[in-house]
Amino acid sequence: MLNKRKAISIFTAAVLCASIASPALASVGEPDLQWPGEENVVDTLPLPTYEEALTSDDWELVPGGLAYTECIHEMPFGSEILPNGDIALNSRVIERVEPCPYPSLVQVPNEGEDTSSTETRIPSAWKPSWWLTSWWDSPAEITNFHVTWTVPNNPRTASGQTIFLFPSVTPTNGSAIAQPVLQWGSSAAGGGNYWALGNWILVGESTVYKSPLVSTAPGHTINGAMTRGNGTATNWTVGFVDVSAGSGAHNNNWNSGVSSWRAIQGGVFEVWGVASNQCNRLPNSTGTVFTHVTVTTVNGSATPAFSPHRLNTSCSSSVSATSSQTVVGWQS
């Protein structure tokens, strides 16, 4: 359980790799509802303030902000999220998911936000916490996205912060995000003062799905992948492999109900609650490199033209990107 009375910081890294297999789940029948965040939400409740959510047991930390506890759902590895939002495992529905009564996550205020950024495609709900990112809008439908990276050192000071590193894929309308995530600290998925990996999916900016966490360690090589069968398929497989630990793939399937996917983030450095004078709470490294980036579209192998975006200037943060890697940096 997240200690919400402590300052929260998040640094997110997730990456994608072609070595991850895509397990196929048997059909569970036609959904009888729309996916969460769309037509099923008739009325929404007003969001609490950050201070109210932070001190309430009804709100927990997830990549992107604080989510209402009843809108956070665990997806076991190998499970599938159906188009209506339900979770199925081995062809059986294991959880019925109701639409979230809140319109979005609650955001944590950050110091040092760079208001001069011209990146308009980043949804406003995520922008306060994304310090650094690279972005590419593909001219063709994306079918595969794979990345490799190394787990950075532990922070010099462990003081209740949470850190995520990840790459991600979003639909053309910006209504969702899927990512395998590297986490330091605690979140709604658990965790503590160690590095761990998990898959996360945010639907409609308020309904959150989380996998179990798998522990990892500094120096480990991580492969991550997000794949779908073709340029019209709505089903994505999201997963990761801890290469150094010799583990197998940890995957989740998501039948999103959305067919157009053209936006990817080559690497995101997401931080919550770390002020500009608290840089020792960041990993004791100079940064993280998301490398061996491979992207496939309906036209075949693609050369992405990632645009780097420095959205927060704290801790001498920096970002650069090429077609094959994104480098996010900071001073701890």
Looking at per-residue confidence, does 301 or 160 come out higher? Answer: 301
Q: Kind and range of the H or E element at 50? A: helix 50-54
- Residue 3 has a pLDDT of 42
Mean pLDDT of the chain: 84
What pLDDT is stored for residue 276 in this prediction? Answer: 83
What is the CATH classification number for the domain harbouring 236? 2.60.120.1270
φ/ψ of 179, rounded to 5, equals -160, 140
* Number of domains, the chain: 1
Higher pLDDT, 41 or 60: 60
* Domain containing residue 279: 50-329
Residue 285 lies in a domain: yes
Nearest CA-CA partner of 78 in 168, 179, 212, 197: 212
What pLDDT, on the 0 to 100 scale, is given for residue 245? 96
CA pair distance 251, 238, nearest whole angstrom:
6
Q: What is the pLDDT of residues 97-112, one digit of tens each?
A: 999 999 999 986 654 4
pLDDT at 54: 86
Q: Tell whether 163 is covered by a domain.
A: yes
pLDDT score for 274: 78
Residue 12 lies in a domain: no
pLDDT at 42: 45
Q: Which of 172, 208, 179, 191 is nearest to 290 (CA)?
A: 179
Quick check: 188 pLDDT over 70?
yes
pLDDT greater at residue 1 or residue 258: 258
Residues 206, 45: contact at Cβ < 8 Å?
no
Q: Is residue 302 part of a domain?
A: yes
Residue 128: per-residue pLDDT:
60
Q: 104 and 37 in contact (C-beta within 8 Å)?
A: no
- Mean pLDDT to the nearest integer, 239-245: 97
68 in any annotated domain: yes
Q: What percent of the chain has pLDDT over 70?
A: 81
**Which residues sit opposite 203 in a β-bridge?**
176, 207
15-52 confidence digits (pLDDT tens): 333 333 333 333 344 333 344 444 444 468 999 998 89
pLDDT band at 204; cut points 50, 70, 90:
confident
Residue 308 lies in a domain: yes
pTM exceeds cut of 0.95: no
- The confidence score (pLDDT) of residue 109 equals 63
- Spatial separation of the C-alpha atoms in residues 90 and 82, rounded to whole Å: 13
32 in any annotated domain: no
State how far the Cα of 210 lies from the Cα of 97, in Å rounded to an integer: 13
Per-residue pLDDT at 291 exceeds 60: yes
- Spatial separation of the C-alpha atoms in residues 204 and 99, rounded to whole Å: 10
SS3 content of the chain, % helix, strand, coil (to 5): 5, 40, 55
In a domain, 6, yes or no: no
User: Among 27-31, 169-173, 196-200, 280-284, which is the least confidently predicted range?
Assistant: 27-31
CA–CA distance, 20 with 241 (Å, rounded to integer): 7
